[in-house]
Structure 1
Protein backbone atom coordinates (compact mmCIF):
# COMPACT_ATOMS: atom_id res chain seq x y z
CA UNK A 1 0.00 0.00 0.00
CA UNK A 2 2.94 2.34 0.67
CA UNK A 3 3.94 2.24 -3.00
CA UNK A 4 0.40 3.12 -4.01
CA UNK A 5 0.52 6.15 -1.68
CA UNK A 6 3.88 7.16 -3.11
CA UNK A 7 2.69 6.96 -6.72
CA UNK A 8 -0.48 8.94 -5.93
CA UNK A 9 1.64 11.58 -4.18
CA UNK A 10 4.01 11.76 -7.16
CA UNK A 11 1.14 12.11 -9.62
CA UNK A 12 -0.40 14.85 -7.50
CA UNK A 13 2.96 16.62 -7.64
CA UNK A 14 2.59 16.81 -11.42
CA UNK A 15 -0.82 18.45 -11.03
CA UNK A 16 0.28 21.05 -8.53
CA UNK A 17 3.45 21.88 -10.47
CA UNK A 18 1.32 22.66 -13.52
CA UNK A 19 -1.13 24.49 -11.27
CA UNK A 20 1.70 26.75 -10.09
CA UNK A 21 2.26 27.83 -13.68
CA UNK A 22 -1.39 28.65 -14.24
CA UNK A 23 -1.90 30.34 -10.86
CA UNK A 24 0.21 33.21 -12.23
CA UNK A 25 2.05 33.82 -8.98
CA UNK A 26 -1.05 32.98 -6.92
CA UNK A 27 -3.01 35.82 -8.51
CA UNK A 28 -5.71 33.50 -9.89
CA UNK A 29 -7.85 32.56 -6.85
CA UNK A 30 -9.48 29.37 -8.16
CA UNK A 31 -6.31 27.91 -9.69
CA UNK A 32 -4.31 28.96 -6.61
CA UNK A 33 -6.78 27.21 -4.29
CA UNK A 34 -6.71 24.04 -6.39
CA UNK A 35 -2.92 24.16 -6.48
CA UNK A 36 -2.66 24.48 -2.70
CA UNK A 37 -5.10 21.59 -2.31
CA UNK A 38 -2.93 19.57 -4.71
CA UNK A 39 0.19 20.36 -2.68
CA UNK A 40 -1.52 19.30 0.55
CA UNK A 41 -2.85 16.09 -1.03
CA UNK A 42 0.52 15.27 -2.55
CA UNK A 43 2.35 15.68 0.75
CA UNK A 44 -0.37 13.78 2.62
CA UNK A 45 0.19 10.71 0.45
CA UNK A 46 3.95 11.14 0.60
CA UNK A 47 3.79 11.26 4.40
CA UNK A 48 1.62 8.12 4.46
CA UNK A 49 4.21 6.30 2.32
CA UNK A 50 7.03 7.40 4.65
CA UNK A 51 5.49 5.37 7.47
CA UNK A 52 6.65 2.24 5.62
CA UNK A 53 9.43 3.25 3.21
CA UNK A 54 12.95 4.62 3.75
CA UNK A 55 12.91 8.40 3.37
CA UNK A 56 15.79 8.56 0.86
CA UNK A 57 14.26 6.05 -1.51
CA UNK A 58 10.75 7.41 -1.12
CA UNK A 59 11.80 11.01 -1.69
CA UNK A 60 13.85 10.14 -4.77
CA UNK A 61 10.91 8.28 -6.26
CA UNK A 62 8.38 10.96 -5.24
CA UNK A 63 10.35 13.79 -6.82
CA UNK A 64 11.39 11.68 -9.80
CA UNK A 65 7.79 10.83 -10.64
CA UNK A 66 6.85 14.48 -10.30
CA UNK A 67 9.74 15.68 -12.45
CA UNK A 68 9.29 13.08 -15.18
CA UNK A 69 5.51 13.47 -15.24
CA UNK A 70 5.70 17.26 -15.36
CA UNK A 71 8.27 17.18 -18.16
CA UNK A 72 6.16 14.77 -20.24
CA UNK A 73 2.95 16.75 -19.70
CA UNK A 74 4.81 19.94 -20.61
CA UNK A 75 6.02 18.44 -23.87
CA UNK A 76 2.67 16.89 -24.75
CA UNK A 77 0.28 19.68 -23.83
CA UNK A 78 2.17 22.90 -23.04
CA UNK A 79 4.27 23.36 -26.19
CA UNK A 80 7.56 22.72 -24.41
CA UNK A 81 10.43 21.63 -26.61
CA UNK A 82 10.92 17.94 -27.38
CA UNK A 83 14.28 16.42 -28.21
CA UNK A 84 15.80 12.97 -28.27
CA UNK A 85 18.25 13.87 -25.55
CA UNK A 86 15.44 15.16 -23.31
CA UNK A 87 13.45 11.96 -23.91
CA UNK A 88 16.55 9.87 -23.17
CA UNK A 89 17.06 11.53 -19.79
CA UNK A 90 13.38 11.23 -18.86
CA UNK A 91 13.60 7.53 -19.73
CA UNK A 92 16.77 7.28 -17.62
CA UNK A 93 14.97 8.96 -14.72
CA UNK A 94 12.07 6.52 -14.98
CA UNK A 95 14.48 3.57 -15.21
CA UNK A 96 16.20 4.86 -12.06
CA UNK A 97 12.85 5.06 -10.27
CA UNK A 98 12.10 1.45 -11.24
CA UNK A 99 15.57 0.43 -10.07
CA UNK A 100 15.05 2.08 -6.69
CA UNK A 101 11.69 0.34 -6.32
CA UNK A 102 13.17 -3.05 -7.17
CA UNK A 103 15.96 -2.60 -4.63
CA UNK A 104 14.01 -1.36 -1.64
CA UNK A 105 12.02 -3.03 1.08
CA UNK A 106 8.93 -1.89 2.92
CA UNK A 107 9.10 -1.74 6.72
Structure 2
Protein backbone atom coordinates (compact mmCIF):
# COMPACT_ATOMS: atom_id res chain seq x y z
CA UNK A 1 0.00 0.00 0.00
CA UNK A 2 2.94 2.32 0.67
CA UNK A 3 3.98 2.25 -2.98
CA UNK A 4 0.42 3.07 -4.04
CA UNK A 5 0.47 6.13 -1.76
CA UNK A 6 3.84 7.16 -3.11
CA UNK A 7 2.86 6.79 -6.76
CA UNK A 8 -0.42 8.63 -6.19
CA UNK A 9 1.44 11.48 -4.51
CA UNK A 10 3.93 11.65 -7.37
CA UNK A 11 1.17 11.77 -9.98
CA UNK A 12 -0.61 14.52 -8.07
CA UNK A 13 2.69 16.40 -7.95
CA UNK A 14 2.60 16.57 -11.75
CA UNK A 15 -0.83 18.18 -11.50
CA UNK A 16 0.17 20.87 -9.05
CA UNK A 17 3.41 21.61 -10.89
CA UNK A 18 1.40 22.25 -14.04
CA UNK A 19 -1.12 24.26 -12.03
CA UNK A 20 1.67 26.51 -10.79
CA UNK A 21 2.74 27.23 -14.35
CA UNK A 22 -0.81 28.15 -15.37
CA UNK A 23 -1.60 30.23 -12.27
CA UNK A 24 0.42 33.25 -13.46
CA UNK A 25 2.09 33.75 -10.10
CA UNK A 26 -1.01 32.80 -8.10
CA UNK A 27 -3.12 35.49 -9.79
CA UNK A 28 -5.70 33.19 -11.43
CA UNK A 29 -7.84 32.01 -8.52
CA UNK A 30 -9.64 29.42 -10.68
CA UNK A 31 -6.26 27.73 -11.16
CA UNK A 32 -4.84 28.45 -7.70
CA UNK A 33 -7.56 26.63 -5.75
CA UNK A 34 -7.27 23.27 -7.59
CA UNK A 35 -3.48 23.62 -7.49
CA UNK A 36 -3.53 24.01 -3.70
CA UNK A 37 -5.89 21.03 -3.36
CA UNK A 38 -3.52 18.93 -5.48
CA UNK A 39 -0.57 20.07 -3.32
CA UNK A 40 -2.31 19.08 -0.12
CA UNK A 41 -3.38 15.69 -1.49
CA UNK A 42 0.06 15.06 -2.94
CA UNK A 43 1.79 15.69 0.38
CA UNK A 44 -0.89 13.73 2.24
CA UNK A 45 -0.15 10.64 0.14
CA UNK A 46 3.58 11.22 0.50
CA UNK A 47 3.23 11.43 4.29
CA UNK A 48 1.20 8.19 4.32
CA UNK A 49 3.97 6.44 2.38
CA UNK A 50 6.51 7.65 4.95
CA UNK A 51 4.78 5.50 7.56
CA UNK A 52 6.11 2.44 5.73
CA UNK A 53 9.10 3.49 3.62
CA UNK A 54 12.38 5.16 4.55
CA UNK A 55 12.37 8.87 3.79
CA UNK A 56 15.45 8.60 1.57
CA UNK A 57 13.76 6.19 -0.82
CA UNK A 58 10.31 7.74 -0.58
CA UNK A 59 11.45 11.30 -1.26
CA UNK A 60 13.63 10.28 -4.20
CA UNK A 61 10.74 8.37 -5.78
CA UNK A 62 8.17 11.08 -4.98
CA UNK A 63 10.15 13.92 -6.53
CA UNK A 64 11.44 11.72 -9.33
CA UNK A 65 7.94 10.72 -10.38
CA UNK A 66 6.88 14.35 -10.29
CA UNK A 67 9.87 15.38 -12.40
CA UNK A 68 9.40 12.52 -14.85
CA UNK A 69 5.68 13.13 -15.25
CA UNK A 70 6.04 16.88 -15.61
CA UNK A 71 8.76 16.47 -18.25
CA UNK A 72 6.66 13.98 -20.22
CA UNK A 73 3.50 16.11 -20.07
CA UNK A 74 5.52 19.17 -21.07
CA UNK A 75 7.04 17.44 -24.07
CA UNK A 76 3.83 15.74 -25.22
CA UNK A 77 1.21 18.41 -24.58
CA UNK A 78 2.81 21.77 -23.81
CA UNK A 79 5.25 22.20 -26.64
CA UNK A 80 8.43 21.85 -24.58
CA UNK A 81 11.47 21.03 -26.64
CA UNK A 82 12.18 17.37 -27.30
CA UNK A 83 15.67 16.13 -28.05
CA UNK A 84 17.33 12.73 -28.02
CA UNK A 85 19.45 13.76 -25.04
CA UNK A 86 16.39 14.94 -23.08
CA UNK A 87 14.61 11.65 -23.81
CA UNK A 88 17.71 9.71 -22.73
CA UNK A 89 17.85 11.52 -19.39
CA UNK A 90 14.12 11.17 -18.75
CA UNK A 91 14.41 7.42 -19.39
CA UNK A 92 17.45 7.31 -17.09
CA UNK A 93 15.45 9.11 -14.40
CA UNK A 94 12.53 6.66 -14.50
CA UNK A 95 14.97 3.72 -14.60
CA UNK A 96 16.56 4.94 -11.38
CA UNK A 97 13.16 5.40 -9.76
CA UNK A 98 12.15 1.85 -10.69
CA UNK A 99 15.51 0.61 -9.40
CA UNK A 100 14.81 2.10 -5.96
CA UNK A 101 11.74 -0.11 -5.70
CA UNK A 102 13.92 -3.22 -5.86
CA UNK A 103 16.39 -2.22 -3.15
CA UNK A 104 15.50 -3.79 0.22
CA UNK A 105 14.28 -1.30 2.80
CA UNK A 106 16.20 -2.88 5.68
CA UNK A 107 19.78 -4.04 5.55
CA UNK A 108 20.69 -7.27 7.23
CA UNK A 109 23.16 -6.80 10.05
CA UNK A 110 26.42 -8.59 9.60
CA UNK A 111 27.46 -10.98 12.30
CA UNK A 112 30.55 -9.83 14.16
CA UNK A 113 32.99 -12.64 14.94
Between the aligned partners of 2:73 and 2:25, the Cα distance in structure 1 is 20
Alignment partner of 1:77 is 2:77: yes
- Point out 4+ residue stretches in structure 1 off by more than 4 angstroms: none
Between the aligned partners of 2:18 and 2:104, the Cα distance in structure 1 is 30
Unaligned runs of 5+ in 1: none
1:12-27, aligned counterparts within 5 Å?
12-27=12-27
Task: Tell me which structure has the larger Cα radius of gyration.
Answer: 2
1:1-107, aligned counterparts within 5 Å?
1-105=1-105
Q: Deviations over 1:27-79 (max 9, x none)?
A: 00010000000000000000000000000000000000000100000000000
Give TM-score, length-normalised by structure 1.
0.97
Unaligned runs of 5+ in 2: 107-113
Give TM-score, length-normalised by structure 2.
0.92
Aligned CA RMSD, in angstroms, stands at 0.9
